[in-house]
Chain A
């Protein structure tokens, strides 16, 4: 092809031509992008497919008997930062609609200019949310709707602010499950001596449980049975359980109730850093069911670090008594239990835990060692406990005390025999006096409930620690709450919601026991490798080019001569 013959345009023609082209081009790009927004596909490669509806949610939607209406109330002109989050919510709602296969209808409404609707919504607890908008020189306060309401038959569940919901899918799916369920599921906390206050000590746990279940406290110290409508009973850190209370717990289990025992083997006075064995009276009951909770203190090289003060200095150091059950690490070591409750958890931190083991008295039940230490754990026992970080004892290489994997939580499933089989029904303790020393009316014996000696298929969980779920410690391990919530889900719904919760693991901690070489490589070689490679390549290329030039100029001179 020779020199090209080109038609010359006038400047005006060129401008018109360019303008037309630009308009056509932008038009095409606009159309393609518009259509791509309508017909799109997504591939989710994030861990646990965190940005796609989980299998559990899909199953919940598939099981719906009646249609669900999700009404999203979003103000149109929200600032882009909030809009981003709203768009993500809208994307997920679209997936709810798609996987609902006609059973889920999604409506997106802007109530801003609809006073009647606004009034109606306000009556149902849906209000505009205030937010700040940065102007050219000042901040101004505005408000907008970012709410959602789920409707199933005549039941409604409002969410006044979906933008502040980090666990959006879990909240929505559990709400659908809750309002579409025929019978409400009840979780109860056993009240009694030393038991935590659900509004103060278990605030976070209670709030999450209440999102999905009915929550209440029950008592067994007045001689009455634990109500049959309780699906899961939480027994958390009692100081002492009377024989009669134990009997009621036993009978609750025998009637198919499920129990979560979170029990401390030791009493820890945190302010003085002293500990002594705690005798709550549950040992014989638990052993008969198949689990033995010890009264020792477990230590582990895999632990949560704590800040301590040394004179005027504050330093962070390992604290082996705050055992970190790092599920991914246990999986890597090949010793993690394969169970849906813990499959997607990250780390559960147990402050001052006691070990739990199989008692061997009930071989018929299936047992799962859900929480356990790393192979480098050891214990203190015998009542002389040292808690100060600098004075903690080292592992003793004698049987039972040396380094090994220790159980910290067991789940038992199967049929249990009554601990009171062939025994007298315990009488109510000391007629009359309550804890304040005042006389109280004689409790009425309730013999009208028949005694049961063997349970149907049921389950119970025993953890050698209760502090990990209390308000002060619930957030030290990123899966502390989720472990208990997963267990409750497992016991009530057979794990329908477990797949939704904690799909996004926010932590990617470094491995424990990193070698110096690995750290050095990551710290020095990794970041500098690429710049060094470019420098070397550049120098080599420069040398080659120099030689080529020299050779070229010599050849030129030779030809010239």
Chain B
């Protein structure tokens, strides 16, 4: 546990040493906030945060792969991954430490984005229960995207390849419903595709309904990619 904490701490502060993390965080929050406030909130005259959550969701589709792409790829490129894995900690502790650092970093970004619901609450009656559920949904989506981003980063030395792969997988999971709309599928497959869609589960939470099925879906996705991440690291054990 101490190992996880030490790695998480090191990795978390590592984000703040990277100019790219600042750059993406500023662009992401600035663009999403300004777009929402000037293009949606005031023109509509309605205190409805759903479009803001959608903006954040699609913004995270881009920013999370951009920030997590260096997680393992950079270590591999610099050769520090072997060193890291020889520390007196288990492989899964390293994976979990890195993952928790990413989660804390994006959690912090979400906390900062809370300035928008707070400031706009001055304009009318904010539905706080729905806002908090929306944030829970965003946290779960970011948790899944981070797991995907880090796993893709563990797959390759190239940050660009890791970025593109995560982008494609996240987009695939976000757009499955629309993809399914292109072709008529048999019931079983249609249900399966629908169930795999991240947006489908997010929409349910963002409207204020916390359903155990949605939580289990996200936890499954996170667990799947973290285990995959750990076993991709095991490739160094090849003969």
Q: B129 at interface (Cβ–Cβ under 8 A)?
A: yes
Q: A256 at interface (Cβ–Cβ under 8 A)?
A: no
Return chain A residues, CB-CB under 8 Å to B122.
514, 518, 521-522
Contact assessment for B33 and A527 in the assembled complex, using a CB-CB cutoff below 8 Å: yes
Measured CA separation A42–B217 after assembly (Å): 14
Measured CA separation A110–B22 after assembly (Å): 54
Contact assessment for B184 and A32 in the assembled complex, using a CB-CB cutoff below 8 Å: no
Measured CA separation A79–B193 after assembly (Å): 11
Contact digits for B100-137, partner A, Cβ 8 Å, 1 yes 0 no: 00000000000011011011101111010110110000
Q: Which of A394-402, A412-420, A446-454, A504-512 participates in binding chain B?
A: A504-512
Please pick, from A6, A33, A518, the residue contacting B237 in the complex, using a CB distance under 8 A: A6
Q: B187 at interface (Cβ–Cβ under 8 A)?
A: yes
Contact digits for A518-541, partner B, Cβ 8 Å, 1 yes 0 no: 110111011111110111011001
Q: A431 at interface (Cβ–Cβ under 8 A)?
A: no
Contact assessment for B124 and A508 in the assembled complex, using a CB-CB cutoff below 8 Å: yes
Q: Which of B39-47, B57-65, B141-149 participates in binding chain A?
A: B39-47
Across the two chains, which residue of chain B brings its CB closest to A88?
A: B204
Contact assessment for B186 and A77 in the assembled complex, using a CB-CB cutoff below 8 Å: yes
Return chain A residues, CB-CB under 8 Å to B217.
33, 36
Contact status of A531 and B181, CB under 8 A, knowing A42-B211, A510-B47, A521-B122: no
Interface residues of B in 158-208 (CB under 8 A from A): 177, 180-187, 190-191, 193-195, 197, 200, 207-208
Return chain A residues, CB-CB under 8 Å to B209.
42-46, 51-52
Across the two chains, which residue of chain A brings its CB closest to B196?
A: A33
Q: Which of A133-141, A171-179, A202-210, A378-386 participates in binding chain B?
A: A133-141
Q: A25 at interface (Cβ–Cβ under 8 A)?
A: yes
Return chain B residues, CB-CB under 8 Å to A541.
16
Return chain B residues, CB-CB under 8 Å to A46.
127, 129-130, 133, 207-209
Measured CA separation A83–B180 after assembly (Å): 11
Across the two chains, which residue of chain B brings its CB closest to A39?
A: B212
Contact assessment for A80 and B193 in the assembled complex, using a CB-CB cutoff below 8 Å: yes
Contact assessment for A36 and B212 in the assembled complex, using a CB-CB cutoff below 8 Å: yes
Q: B84 at interface (Cβ–Cβ under 8 A)?
A: no
Q: B139 at interface (Cβ–Cβ under 8 A)?
A: no
Return chain A residues, CB-CB under 8 Å to B116.
526-527, 530
B190 CB → nearest A CB, Å: 6
Contact assessment for A529 and B119 in the assembled complex, using a CB-CB cutoff below 8 Å: yes
B200 CB → nearest A CB, Å: 7
Contact assessment for A33 and B216 in the assembled complex, using a CB-CB cutoff below 8 Å: yes
Contact assessment for A526 and B115 in the assembled complex, using a CB-CB cutoff below 8 Å: yes
Contact digits for A29-48, partner B, Cβ 8 Å, 1 yes 0 no: 10011001100111111110
Interface size on B, residues (CB 8 A): 72
Contact assessment for A531 and B26 in the assembled complex, using a CB-CB cutoff below 8 Å: yes
Contact assessment for B237 and A76 in the assembled complex, using a CB-CB cutoff below 8 Å: no
Contact assessment for B86 and A4 in the assembled complex, using a CB-CB cutoff below 8 Å: yes
Q: A165 at interface (Cβ–Cβ under 8 A)?
A: no
Q: A3 at interface (Cβ–Cβ under 8 A)?
A: yes
Contact status of A42 and B235, CB under 8 A, knowing A4-B86, A534-B26, A534-B29: no
B197 CB → nearest A CB, Å: 8
Return chain B residues, CB-CB under 8 Å to A507.
46
Return chain A residues, CB-CB under 8 Å to B130.
45-47
Across the two chains, which residue of chain B brings its CB closest to A18?
A: B231
Q: B34 at interface (Cβ–Cβ under 8 A)?
A: yes
Contact assessment for A77 and B190 in the assembled complex, using a CB-CB cutoff below 8 Å: yes
Please pick, from B113, B223, B238, the residue contacting A29 in the complex, using a CB distance under 8 A: B223
A445 CB → nearest B CB, Å: 58
Q: A225 at interface (Cβ–Cβ under 8 A)?
A: no
Number of A-B residue pairs with CB-CB distance less than 8 Å in the complex they form: 203
Measured CA separation A296–B8 after assembly (Å): 72
Q: B220 at interface (Cβ–Cβ under 8 A)?
A: yes
A544 CB → nearest B CB, Å: 10
Contact status of A135 and B187, CB under 8 A, knowing A42-B209, A527-B36: no
Contact assessment for B47 and A84 in the assembled complex, using a CB-CB cutoff below 8 Å: no
A16 CB → nearest B CB, Å: 13
Q: B213 at interface (Cβ–Cβ under 8 A)?
A: yes
Q: Which of A7-15, A154-162, A334-342 participates in binding chain B?
A: A7-15
Please pick, from A134, A332, A519, the residue contacting B182 in the complex, using a CB distance under 8 A: A134
Contact status of A1 and B238, CB under 8 A, knowing A51-B208, A530-B113: no
Please pick, from B37, B197, B210, B238, the residue contacting A45 in the complex, using a CB distance under 8 A: B210
Q: B1 at interface (Cβ–Cβ under 8 A)?
A: no
Contact digits for A364-375, partner B, Cβ 8 Å, 1 yes 0 no: 000000000000
Please pick, from B46, B195, B231, the residue contacting A509 in the complex, using a CB distance under 8 A: B46
Q: A55 at interface (Cβ–Cβ under 8 A)?
A: no
Across the two chains, which residue of chain B brings its CB closest to A35?
A: B216
Q: A273 at interface (Cβ–Cβ under 8 A)?
A: no
- Most interface-central of B48, B86, B200, B216 (chain A CB within 10 A): B216
B138 CB → nearest A CB, Å: 14
Contact assessment for A521 and B210 in the assembled complex, using a CB-CB cutoff below 8 Å: no
Please pick, from A14, A41, A79, A135, the residue contacting B238 in the complex, using a CB distance under 8 A: A14
Contact assessment for A522 and B125 in the assembled complex, using a CB-CB cutoff below 8 Å: no
B157 CB → nearest A CB, Å: 19
Contact assessment for B112 and A533 in the assembled complex, using a CB-CB cutoff below 8 Å: yes
Return chain B residues, CB-CB under 8 Å to A67.
none
Contact assessment for A526 and B46 in the assembled complex, using a CB-CB cutoff below 8 Å: no
Return chain B residues, CB-CB under 8 Å to A142.
184
Return chain A residues, CB-CB under 8 Å to B207.
46, 51
Across the two chains, which residue of chain B brings its CB closest to A514?
A: B123
Contact assessment for B220 and A33 in the assembled complex, using a CB-CB cutoff below 8 Å: yes
B33 CB → nearest A CB, Å: 3
Contact assessment for B235 and A14 in the assembled complex, using a CB-CB cutoff below 8 Å: yes
Return chain B residues, CB-CB under 8 Å to A87.
194
Measured CA separation A87–B122 after assembly (Å): 37
Please pick, from A26, A509, A531, the residue contacting B47 in the complex, using a CB distance under 8 A: A509
Q: A328 at interface (Cβ–Cβ under 8 A)?
A: yes
Contact status of A42 and B37, CB under 8 A, knowing A7-B237, A510-B124, A533-B112: no
Measured CA separation A51–B238 after assembly (Å): 52
B211 CB → nearest A CB, Å: 5
Measured CA separation A11–B238 after assembly (Å): 6
Contact assessment for A44 and B208 in the assembled complex, using a CB-CB cutoff below 8 Å: yes
Q: A21 at interface (Cβ–Cβ under 8 A)?
A: yes
A87 CB → nearest B CB, Å: 7
19 more A-B contacts (CB under 8 A) besides A522-B123, A531-B33, A534-B26? A14-B237, A14-B238, A36-B217, A41-B212, A44-B208, A45-B129, A51-B208, A77-B185, A80-B194, A83-B191, A83-B194, A508-B48, A514-B123, A521-B119, A522-B122, A527-B38, A531-B26, A534-B112, A535-B22
Closest A-B pairs by Cβ, 6 of them = A526-B119, A46-B208, A527-B33, A76-B187, A530-B112, A45-B129
23 A-B interface contacts by CB (under 8 A): A8-B237, A10-B238, A14-B235, A32-B220, A36-B217, A37-B213, A50-B208, A76-B186, A80-B181, A87-B194, A508-B125, A508-B127, A509-B45, A510-B45, A510-B47, A523-B38, A526-B118, A527-B37, A527-B116, A531-B26, A531-B30, A535-B26, A545-B17
